[in-house]
Amino acid sequence: MRTLITGGAGFIGSHLCERFLAEGHEVIAVDNMITGDLANLDPFRANPRFRFIGHDISAPLKVKQKLDNVLHFASPASPVDYLEHPIPTLKVGSLGTHNTLGLAKTHGARYLLASTSEVYGDPLEHPQKESYWGNVNPIGVRGCYDEAKRFAESITMAYHRAHGVNTHIIRIFNTYGERMRLNDGRVLPNFMYQALRGEPITVYGEGNQTRSFQYVSDLVEGIWRLLFTDFHEPVNLGNPAEITILEFAEEIRKLAGSKSEIVFKPLPQDDPKVRQPDITRARQLLGWEPKVGRDEGLKRTMDFFRNKMGK
C-alpha cells in the first residue's frame, strides 16, 4: 500500500510515518515546516519506501502514484502555534482538508482526518462523548483552531455522504511523547523544560483545570485500527486517566528531581476547565484502549527531553 501523511514531519505525523513504514507501506510525507522538524524524519529518511514533499497542503497537490490511504495531520496544534499563525491554521483546516479529500476521492483512497478534543471547547458535558456538540467560542482567540477542526469534520462527512469517500475521523486528546518540540507551548513540554532547567513551573489559573494525557504509541495504534474499518463518524482517542494541572506539575517536578517552584499566572481566554474522553466507542469498535501508563510514558518522554537538552 501507499500512504500519504500530511504534517508528516510533525510530532504525531512522524510517528505515523514510522508505523506505516514498519507495516510495509510506501509513505509520502507532506509538510510545509511551519511547526514540523526534518530531524523527526531522520530515523527512516534513508528508507527507500519513504519520500518527503515540502508543500503547503492548503494549496492543491497532485500525486501521480496511486494512493491507498490519505491521512490529514497538517495543522499547528498548540495554542502558541495557532495564536501565532491563525490564518494558516484556518486555511489548513478548510482548504487543506478540501485538498486532501480531493486526493482521496481521485485515488479511491481511504481517508483519515485528525480532529481534536478542542471541538468540544470548554465542555459542559463531562466526560466528553462523541455525541456532544461542544461549547466553542467561534470568535475567541482559540476559535481559529477549534472552528477549523469543526469545519474539517463537517466537510469530511460531506465528502463521505456526497461522494462515497471512505472517510474516518479521530478526535485526539492531549498526546505526548518523543519528538515533541521543547518550545511547543503545550503544558507537558513547558513543565518538563522548566523543571529540567530549574526554572519556575508556570501553572495557569489555580491549576484546578483537568487534562487527560495519552502516550503517542497508544494514539498511533488507535489510528491504525480505525483506518481499516467501515466506521465514518468521529471516534475519541485519548486516555481517560484525568489529572489536575497542579497535580501534573508536581508529578513532572518529582520525575525531574527538580527544586523548581510552582508559580501561578492568569488563566488564558477560553481555556477548557475539564478534559476527559469517553472512549466507549473506541473500546467497542476497535477493541482499543491505552496501554502505556502515565508513569512509563512520562519517563520515556523525560529521557527524550534530557537527551535533547544535554541534561
pLDDT in tens, 37-78: 999 999 999 999 999 999 999 999 999 999 999 999 999 999
CATH 3.40.50.720 residue spans of the chain: 2-176+214-239+280-286
Question: Which amino acid type is present at position 256?
Answer: A
Pairing relation of β-strands 210-212 and 242-244?
A: antiparallel
Architecture of domain 2-176+214-239+280-286: 3-Layer(aba) Sandwich (3.40)
CATH 3.90.25.10 residue spans of the chain: 187-210+242-276+292-309
158: which residues sit within 8 A by CB, 6+ positions away?
Answer: none
At 310 the pLDDT is 84
Q: What is the mean pLDDT of the chain?
A: 97
Is the distance from CB of 115 to CB of 234 less than 8 angstroms?
yes
Q: Which residues are catalytic?
A: 145
Instruction: Give the residue carrying C-alpha cell 500519504.
Output: 4
Please state, in angstroms and rounded to a whole number, the distance separating the CA atoms of residues 130 and 222: 15
- Arithmetic mean of pLDDT, 101-106: 98
**193-222: per-residue pLDDT in tens?**
999 999 999 999 999 999 999 999 999 999
59-64 contacts, C-beta under 8 A, 24 or more apart: 59/95, 59/99, 60/99, 60/102, 61/30, 61/99, 61/103, 63/4, 63/28, 63/103, 63/107
Is the distance from CB of 167 to CB of 158 less than 8 angstroms?
no
* The domain over range 187-210+242-276+292-309 is classified in CATH as 2.60.40.10: no
- pTM (global) more than 0.75: yes
- Arithmetic mean of pLDDT, 124-138: 97
